Amino acid sequence: MNPDVVSGFSRTVTIARAALETVIAHARETAPAECCGLLLGCDGTVVEALRTRNVAADPLSRFVIDPKDHIDHRRDARRRGLDVTGFYHSHPRTAATPSATDGEEASYPDHLYMIVSLAQEPPDVGVFRLDGVDAGNFHRLPLVTVP
């Protein structure tokens, strides 16, 4: 067993700079509401971030990815040979760590969950993997940005 791989993801997540910039810009534009979207790539490498609409009843304190956006983006990714490797959302006023609500509502084991915090400047970005064994159990992973 390779100690550098955890449930299909290398221990270090690599993200394209343009994808990270997309996530941060989305968070800033949407604040004070939470933003959300999909992360595309494969094997722990994120090559693209796609914005989705937040359809939560109270978008100032939580997020719900629009189901139509989710399905449409999944289909588009599949056509382009990419996987949905995870999801992102923002915490406009709190830390870039999963909240209790994030843990209760996360439903894609072994996917990446990226959180952007705007509570400080520059924004803090955390990336986590949801353990498929323990519901709501997130593991923080190192993040490396590449051109």
Share of the chain above pLDDT 90, in %: 74
Going by pLDDT thresholds of 50, 70 and 90, the confidence category of residue 3 is: very low
The catalytic position among 21, 29, 34, 121 is 34
* Per-residue model confidence (pLDDT) at position 5: 42
Q: 62-88, pLDDT tens digit by residue?
A: 999 999 999 999 999 999 999 999 999
Active site residue 34: yes
The CATH class of 5-61+84-94+103-146 is alpha beta
* Per-residue model confidence (pLDDT) at position 49: 98
| Residue 26, pLDDT above cutoff 90 | yes
Per domain, the residue ranges of the chain are 5-61+84-94+103-146
Query: CB neighbours (10 Å) of residue 71?
Result: 10
* Per-residue model confidence (pLDDT) at position 84: 95
